[in-house]
Chains A and B, each alone.
Chain A
Amino acid sequence: MPTYSVTIRTGDLDDEQKAAIARAITRVHGEVTGTPFYMAQVVFNEIEPHCYFLGGERLEERQIFVYGFTRLGRTRRTKDELIARLASEVAAAAGSGGGSVWVYISEMPARQMVEFGRVLPEPGDEIAWNDEWSPSEKAHFATIGMSAVRH
C-alpha cells in the first residue's frame, strides 16, 4: 500500500542495482508493516546530472533519495523501524559507489489512496478488504512481483 519514488542522477545506478533497491524497499516495507509485496510500487526518477543540486551546487557524488507515501495510522515504532531499515538496506542494495541515502516518509489517510482501482482499507481492516476481491483478481495479484515465501 505504498508508493516509493527513488530519485537518482541518470547513470548512477545500473539495472541490477535498481532491481536490488526495488526488492529491498518492497521487502522492508512488507516485513515491517505486513503489507503484501504486490502492493508496493517503486518508481525510479532519473534526473539529468546537470539538474541535480545539493547545497546550491551540482551534486558531486551519488545520492539516492527515497520518498515513500504510506497510509496514516501506523505506530511510531513501526515507522521508526521502517525508515531505519530503508536507509540501511537501500544503501546495501546500491552496493559500492559511495554517496548517501535520503529517506522521507509521507502519510495520507487510507481513504485518500486508491490502488488497483479500490480505496484502501483503514489499518486493521485489511482482511475484510482482501476478501472482497474476486477469485480471479486474487489469482492475478498472486502473479505480481516477487514471492513472499522466504527459504
Chain B
Amino acid sequence: MPSYIVTCVEGRLTGSQKSQIAEAVTRAHGDSTGAPYYFAQITFNEIKPGNYFLGGTQLDCDQIFVHGTIREGRPTDMKDALMARLTADVAIASQMKSNCVWVYLSELPPNQMVEFGRVLPLHGKEAEWSAALPEAEKARLENIGIRREAVA
C-alpha cells in the first residue's frame, strides 16, 4: 500500500538495475510490513544531468534517493526494519555503496489514500478489506507483479 519514488540522475541506472531496484523495494516493503507485493507502486524520477545538487553544487558522486509514502499507523520497530532493509537492498540492487543511498518514509492516514479505486484499510484491517473485494478484482490484483516465494 505504498508508493515509492526513486530519484537518480538520468542515464545512471540501466533498465535491468531499475527492475532489480523495483523488486528490492517491493520485497523489502512487502516482507517488512506484510503488504501484498501488488500494492507496491514504484516510479523512477530521472533527473537531467545539471538538475541535481548536493551541498549547493552539482552532484558529482553516486546518489540514489528513495522516497516512500506509506500508511500511517505501523509500529516503530516495523518502520525501523523497513528503513534498514531498504537502505541495504537498494545499495545492492543499484550496485552503489550504501553511503550513496538516501531513504525517506512519509506517512499518510489510510483514509487519505485510494489504491485500485478503493480507500485503504486501517492498519490491522487488511483482511476485511481484501475479503470485501469482488472475486474478479481479487483475481486481477493477485495477478499483478512478482510472486512471493513459497515458504519452505
- Residues in A lying within 8 Å of B, measured CB to CB: 3, 15, 18-19, 22-23, 25-27, 36-46, 69, 106, 108, 111-119, 137, 144-146
Q: How far is the CA of A21 from the CA of B34 in the complex (A)?
A: 41
User: Nearest-CB distance from A52 to chain B (Å)?
Assistant: 16
User: Nearest-CB distance from A67 to chain B (Å)?
Assistant: 11
- Residues in B lying within 8 Å of A, measured CB to CB: 7, 45, 47-48, 50-58, 61, 63, 65, 67, 76, 79-80, 83-84, 86-87, 91, 97-107
Known: A15-B50, A44-B47. A116 touches B99 (CB 8 A): yes
Are A111 and B80 closer than 8 Å at their CB atoms?
A: yes
Known: A26-B55, A43-B47. A106 touches B61 (CB 8 A): no
The winner among B56, B65, B98 for most chain A CB atoms within 10 A is B56
User: Nearest-CB distance from B45 to chain A (Å)?
Assistant: 7
Please tell me which one of the listed residues A22, A43, A106, A112 contacts residue B7 in the complex, with CB atoms under 8 A apart: A43
Are B106 and A108 closer than 8 Å at their CB atoms?
A: yes
User: Nearest-CB distance from B7 to chain A (Å)?
Assistant: 6
Residues of A within 8 A of B7 (CB): 43
User: Nearest-CB distance from B66 to chain A (Å)?
Assistant: 8
